[in-house]
Chains A and B, each alone.
Chain A
Amino acid sequence: MIRALFALATALTLATPLRAEVAIQEITTPGGINAWLVEEHSIPFTALEIRFQGGGSLDLPGKRGATNLMVGLLEEGAGDLDARAFTKAKESLAADLSYAITDDTVAVSARFLTENRSEAIALLRQSLVAPRFDAEAIERVRAQVLTGLRQDEKDPRSLAARAFDAMAFAGHPYASTHEGTIESVSALTRDDLLTAHQGALARDRLYVGAVGDITPADLCALLDELFAGLPATGAALPEPITPAFPGGIHLTEFDTPQSVILFGQPGIDRDDPDFFAAFVLDHILGGGGFESRLMQEVREKRGLTYGVYSYLADRDLAFWWGGSLNSQNERAAEAIEVIRTEWQKMRDEGVTEAELNDARTYLTGAYPLRFDGNGPIASILVGMQMQGLPTSYITERNSKVNAVTLDDVKRVATSLMSPENLTFIVVGKPAGLPAN
């Protein structure tokens, strides 16, 4: 059943005449599943993006890594097919079925040909509804997870991410990796995986985006078939957390020639009326590639890094302002000093009219470039639904960017930027790092 046939062709008039011609149809199936669809019949396949909200953060106490291991086993045998038979069936259909996990979601991405769509969906359904969790498969995938965890212990980037998470999110699932620890993963049982499956793959936290060679009626039938039999409700989501940023530089010594540096400070909620001003501010600071102030000061003028970036992080249960770079040990202290200086300078002085104009023209011009393939569009559709955005956001988004004024940016720079909270996590053997 199609609730609303909502076709929209947007006209972005300001900086570029480029149009994002994305005609989104909002669909509710007879079985009650909501989905967004863009029909694109010129290539005979469909890209289907499925998200279950919750992800690794749903792990029960003492069972860290259970959801991750469960997701790793979805393609390792289902229904009457063992792991090898399942893969052979998938290969014979030339369907791409992939299963991924983040702290916030279980993500299932599927690409299948029009010619064998029903067979591909039947196979995908088995993996979601009836995974086998065979003992042999559990041990094989568990060994792969443990290998990854052992590698992480000697990888400076992973060590830095772990130190950052432990500092910012103490007491919350975000404080540790959803892959678990060697101890917790080693102790997981088949029952733990069944519990994780029931908790994470539930219909009350389901989001669907589809793009390709499929009609609304066919998609409705497909989705009802796909998800029938999944539990109606899943495990309780954890509470949101306000990340802690105590300021200073926190070093983990590790013998490697180049330091990995992560930094962060409090961020801003996506629903905040100042979000777009902060978004533009971040773009000018470090979000905008070569033209950003951090890239200009740290890389282009001083050659202290190959790349430095900042971003406004927007997870389901926390938001913050983060960034990262690598810098060789003898130069890392100077790189940090330059970032601190730029942070203070932007807080005190804001940005220039020219910087704001450049940011606006880039952000509004680059936005339609994202909609350039079935797969990318399907990901955007499902992401928008998870953020609670309406389909009309695609047309309205650029006017929100253009509405940001110099005063808005300056006000948000003063209120949001917090040099005393700006916290650096360093992994390496940097020389001459200033004390906290």
Chain B
Amino acid sequence: MRLFAFLLATILPVAATADERVTDFTLDNGLDVVVIEDHRAPVAVHMLWYRSGSADEPLGQSGVAHFLEHLLFKATDTLEAGEFSATVARNGGEDNAFTSYDYTAYYQRIAADRLDLIVQMEADRMRNIHLTEEDITTERQVILEERAQRTDNNPRSLFGEQMNAAQYLNHRYGVPIIGWRNEMETLDREDALSFYKSHYAPNNAILVVAGDVTPDEVRALAEKHYAPIPAEPTLPPRFRAEEPVQNAERRVIYRDPRVAQPYVNRSYLAPERDAGAQEKAAALTVLAEILGGGQTSVFSEKLQFDTQTAVYTGAFYSGTSLDRTTFDVVVVPAEGITLEAAEAAMDKVLADFLTEGVNPEQLDRIKMQLRAAEIYARDDVEAAANRYGRALTSSLTIADVQAWPEVLQAVTAADVMAAAREVLNRRQSVTGWLMSEEATQ
């Protein structure tokens, strides 16, 4: 224990200095800019994040945010279809994009001295895309193939989709990011352009540039290419239908002949990180580690070591979200254990935990690992760029991102138990069984 205390004392200041690499400013047109310096390699990551994702889509058009993301690689006023990526590749760079509930992001990774060209092209496609009917027809097939690959071919994904749909009665987090197949099939050019025109604007975007760059260089590039784009005056307010109070537990049973290993998944509606108020989310982050963060977690101890009830257990919580998120628990039963028995064992572990409380040594080990994670994270500037982009599109601030390690370190056993008692309430949960068709359970 003495060694342990010594380590904590020496590592803390390191974590506190890690944020000096970050600079931020805002252009007159509302574009927020974040610069993260890391001069170890002559590489830069350029990311443009829009504060719009699948949860911002109009009713009946699920998947349009992601569809539009694909279509941004087609033509603009000055570039031919495919020319954006081809130009990045010709300059030795890599590019891609991704869509989630709360954001759509575009990124390029390239030699730092090629940034000017990249910034120019990304700024161009913020306002100037040109879509043909043929683009729409072909790319719609591509997203349907993508859905087949990610979801329809994978019973675990289909089950997760049904779990989410059951968890969110009213909020768009219940609709899959890639879209429901029946709605994806009807997405057209007008849907894509309408989403584009209303959401793709500098005052709805965050530019994150990380790597071998200085804030002055990035400011000059942003002023040159992004500043001329006017702010969109009619930017839609970010309205999300709120989830009502859940007062009845829900159950999902998904059967699929492709399931070889059944399991139980429980999700609880849970609060997210909020600007200036991240304490509860920090406690839930620690709670997920305590309950299901590996070999020494409570679930692993009780269901994999003390008894052979499960072959795998886990607990998951991701607090970076604009609206209410979920806290998830998974138990994969051992051979010969029914889903019913696995679920009962899971509930007994949770009930016992709520009476027994937190093991202080386990809490110390988790905090040590969180601290070390801050050091290891400095080796990966692209991951840092992602952290800032995800946080800022979820209504958090740079100050929140930088305070997060300290907020995590400040979590007490009492905080964890208070969060656990609030969230681990079966009346605000969905319990799902993933089963094979044969119903051997």
CB pair B260–A374 under 8 Å, yes or no, is no
Q: Which residue of B lies closest to A150 (CB)?
A: B260
Q: How far is the CA of A272 from the CA of B148 in the complex (A)?
A: 40
Pairwise interchain contact A92-B148, C-beta atoms closer than 8 A: no
- A256 contacts across to B, CB distance below 8 A: 152-153, 258
Whether B157 sits at the interface, judged by CB under 8 Å, is no
- CB of B365 within 8 A of CB of A91, answer yes
Render B123-145 as a binary contact track against A, CB cut-off 8 A, 1 for contact.
00000000000000111111111
A40 to B40, CA, bound (A): 9
A368 within 8 A of B: yes
Asked if A84 CB lies within 8 Å of chain B CBs, one says: yes
CB pair B372–A358 under 8 Å, yes or no, is no
Q: Contact at B375–A288, with CB atoms within 8 Å?
A: no
Question: What 1/0 flags go to A48-68 for Cβ under 8 Å of B?
Answer: 000000000000000000000
1/0 contact string of B399-432 vs chain A (CB within 8 Å): 0000000000000000000000000000000000
Say yes or no: B138 contacts A300, CB within 8 Å: yes
- How big is the B interface, by class? 35 or more
Residues of B close to A366: CB separation below 8 A: 92-94
> What B residues does A87 contact at CB under 8 A?
294-296
Complex formed: what's the CA distance from A96 to B260 in Å?
A: 31
**A354-411: which have CB < 8 Å to B?**
358, 361-362, 364-369, 371-375
**Cβ of B120 < 8 Å from any Cβ of A?**
no
A375 CA / B379 CA spacing, docked (Å) = 8
Encoded as 1 (CB less than 8 Å from any B CB) or 0, chain A from 117 to 155 comes to 001000000000000000000011001101100111111
Which of B11-31 touch A at CB < 8 Å? 11, 14
Closest to B73 in A: A290
CA distance A361 to B89 in the complex (A): 8
B198 within 8 A of partner (CB): no
Q: Does A43 contact B (CB under 8 A)?
A: yes
Near A by CB (< 8 A), chain B positions 129-171 give: 137-146, 148-149, 152-153
Give the distance to chain B from A4, nearest Cβ to Cβ, in Å: 24
Min CB–CB distance B213 → chain A (angstroms) = 14
A250 to chain B, nearest CB (A): 19
Contact of B85 among A255, A291, A307, A367 (CB under 8 A): A291
With both chains docked as a complex, state the minimum distance between the C-beta of A303 and any C-beta of chain B, in angstroms: 3
A162 within 8 A of B: no
Say whether B295 contacts A83, CB under 8 Å: yes
Known A-B contacts A92-B368, A290-B82; A365 and B260 likewise in contact (beta carbons under 8 Å): no
- For A146, the closest partner residue in chain B by CB is B335
Q: Is B82 touching A328 in the complex (CB atoms < 8 A)?
A: no
Q: Which of A21, A115, A147, A368 contacts B7 (CB 8 A)?
A: A115
- Of A45, A113, A140, A368, the residue contacting B111 (CB under 8 A) is A368
Tell me the chain B residues, 337-369 only, with Cβ under 8 Å from chain A. Answer: 361, 364-366, 368-369
A18-B42, A290-B73, A328-B148 are known contacts. Are A96 and B93 too (CB-CB below 8 A)?
Answer: no
Given A87-B295, A147-B261, A113 contacting B372 (CB threshold 8 A) = yes
Q: Is A189 part of the binding interface, using a Cβ–Cβ cutoff of 8 Å?
A: no
In the complex, what distance in Å separates the CA atom of A154 from the CA atom of B155?
10
Q: Which residue of A lies closest to B436 (CB)?
A: A154
Let me know if A369 and B94 touch, CB within 8 A. yes
Taken residue by residue from 244 to 259, chain A's Cβ proximity to chain B (1 for < 8 Å, 0 otherwise) reads as: 0000000000011110
A91 B296 Cβ-Cβ under 8 A: yes
Check B296 against A84 for contact (C-beta < 8 Å). yes
Q: Does chain A have a CB within 8 A of B240?
A: no
What are 5 A-B contacts defined by CB distance under 8 Å?
A43-B375, A92-B368, A150-B261, A291-B86, A306-B148
Binding site for A on B (CB under 8 A): 3-4, 7, 10-11, 14, 40-43, 73, 81-82, 85-86, 89-94, 109-111, 113-114, 137-146, 148-149, 152-153, 257-261, 294-296, 301, 304-305, 308, 311-312, 332, 334-335, 361, 364-366, 368-369, 371-373, 375-376, 378-382
The 3 closest A-B pairs by CB, nearest first: A365-B92, A303-B141, A94-B372
